[in-house]
Structure 1
Amino acid sequence: MREPAGDVPDVAGVRDDVVDALLTFVRTLRRAGVDVPANAPLVAARALVEVGFDDEDRARAALRAALVTRAEDIDAFDRMFAEFWRRLDAHLDGDGAGGLADDRPDGALAPLGADDPADGATADEEGTADSDGDGGNDAAVSIMTSALGHGPGTADEDATTATYSPAGRPERVTVDAAPVAEDGTLDAAVDRLVDALATLRGRRWQPASTGRQADARRALRRSVATGGAVASVPERDRRASALRALVLADVSRSVLDTVDRGFLLRFLRAVAARLRRSRVFFFDSEVREVSAAFDAPTTADALRELERAETAWGGGTRIGHAVDTVRRDHPTAVDRRTVVVVVSDGIETGDQSALTDGLAWVSRRAPAVLWLNPLAASPAYEPTVAGMAAALPFVDGLFAFTGVADVTEIARQLEQYGPGGRIGFEHDPRRVRGSTDATRSPDS
């Protein structure tokens, strides 16, 4: 086994670089058309820990079993594995020329922090693995299991849940200009979503011109004038009323590597533009309110405001800390007229009890709590990772969130069933196991 340069390995640096290389390898496979399941990076990382870094053939076989589900994808995997292994091998030998951060795939999903300096401390809520300088495969196992949060003494979570949530180093918010151009289809989808939320169950009824539900009480009152005979049955609909929203947007490194950043910013600005009052918070390792930025007239303007305020994103994930901060420092942000929207992959690396307690408080005060999860776009996704499972009892609906079609589907379900109905990713008609197309529009 090759040992990182120096007598005592830079555990945090090597750990992050190895996991980053694996996640980049997975993204490269997906862009080449390989059908990689949503849970595959976690399974692959565990497999790599088990087989170690000494034998290329064993590592190839382990990763192929974890990442490839179709025989026709094997050739593409083998071609790309050679480059992945060359970079990994060079880095573990301490050869900076073969650094893992070079030549990352271009595009919105490219990871933040590609050029992180080796001497900086990472924002890892679960701590780093101990290293006594012994080297060998034990050091590699310690590094990888620390990164995954499943080393000795940690809870053993189901390996079929979701991808690894890295604890990254926050960076300044920045997005290419092109992806933040205004999107009329997204605006229309958000309009529909806001209209559906404005007529939630519990809001007052009003007579409806096109109506959705028979108004039995009005029919009985009218029958008094006709001797008890019901001449006609009026209809009613929920009365739209002023709606407020609190949006907690997870901008940790794992989420930014999964959802298009430009789409996330456009969505937040569109929601803020269509509500009388909304508050938006970014959170990763820390929490910051960014509501003022999304009051800007366009997404490009909002981005400039975020950059001007030196807003950071791309750190680790502490969802419970974010909710608890809102409860403690901004208690008036949630009330009976405020719908709470959480955008997150649900992979908690902080205090899980804080997440449970915070969401219990939110659910008691808000008329609805919606959770938008980019990982739920996968047909194989199940919300069994500990953080997401802890949040589910307090959530009215868990939905996929990767594009406009997902926002449209959320609106469709809310229009038809409301928060108390059968809603969520599991009722999405696009969710067909084995399908890799999770973005096609449903009939609505």
Structure 2
Amino acid sequence: MHALPDTEGKLAENVIHFARALRKAGLKVGPAQVLSAIEAVEAAGFTRRDDFYNTLKATLTVRPNEFETFHQVFTMFWRDPEFLQKMVRSMLPLLQTMGQDTPEAKAAQRRAEEALNEGADEPPEDAPERDMLELDAQMSLSRTEVLRSLDFEQMSTAEEAEAAAAIAKLRLPAPPLKTRRMAASHLGHRPDARAMLRDALRKGGEFTALPKKAPRSRPLNLVVLCDISGSMSAYARMMMHFLHSLVWAPNAGWGHVHGFTMGTQLTNISRALHQRDVDDALKAVGHDAPDWQGGTRLGDALHAFNKHWSRRVLGQGAVVLLITDGLETGGTETLAKEAERLALSCKRLVWLNPLLRFDGFAPKAAGVRTLLPLVSSFHACHNLDSLEDLTAALGGPSQKPLFLSQL
């Protein structure tokens, strides 16, 4: 072992503290991983910064999307002994910030700062005084405006909680569907002959006022198909909050609201979303959908929906929200066939794609090119502003994608 003699006894304690900081930043680090990290560091030693960094990274991370958060937490955690008083000075390696100025790096850095700053707001008594920097916030955006335009994938844990509270207040318009059946109405334009004859029989054959009738209306059903693959995990969590708010919204105007997740398999989460508490509902959704953050096979998922659920939930016409980035890992032949069947079975097929947050978005992926001609409208769903735009768009006529000419 290459550890320094005076730090061997503190090795396990410091690695445990580091693992706790990773958990606060959003990484799922279990006890088995912490034990493996301690054993690996004892075997490899930590005389070199790179060896220590790579050893912890190999044992405490699982998915590639966790690497940036790990780097930010590692950089801030082992940088300064006063940043977390439980660190031992002689054990801390000297680090240089190597993060890139990308949205993913900034989001990971915010999560790292939030995890490490918890309980560290009060400076030590012997800390040197620092110059205070005064900022003129006259032209700066308010916190609410910044939150509304912030991408869901770039949000810290606290920002996600604020966004979830804002999503709970959003509503989707639900214009009623006119049916062929008629009902008595003084605002109707068609005469009601049967009502007129019944009234005449009661009055000895005399005709008085002319009864009118109008078509009956009924609420539309809403069906949500949400992609929960790894590339959609951050957006899928917010969409679950959105769907739960639609289920429990008072006087929402929808008939029945059904929810399904699409990953390596199709899962019906309607019963889970009908739990009143949102935390209990999301916990039940995670239990019912074991393929969360896995792969995605949109064609197979839509095939399962059309085969087992289409007649049950789309029998009287429904609006379908298809939430996915369109990155199909399987073939597009099945996807095209099943998406076309879905579009013909529903009243309106609306596609929500977080990739529309990019100004230069173009339909280059095979799955995107397959789905675009079949949907009624195409919208973004990457932040709060885009969800509010969606509520306005669904209340109007269908909007075909503007770049269908590129296909």
- Normalising by structure 2, we get a TM-score of 0.50
Rg larger for: 2
RCO higher in structure (CA 8 A, sep ≥6): 1
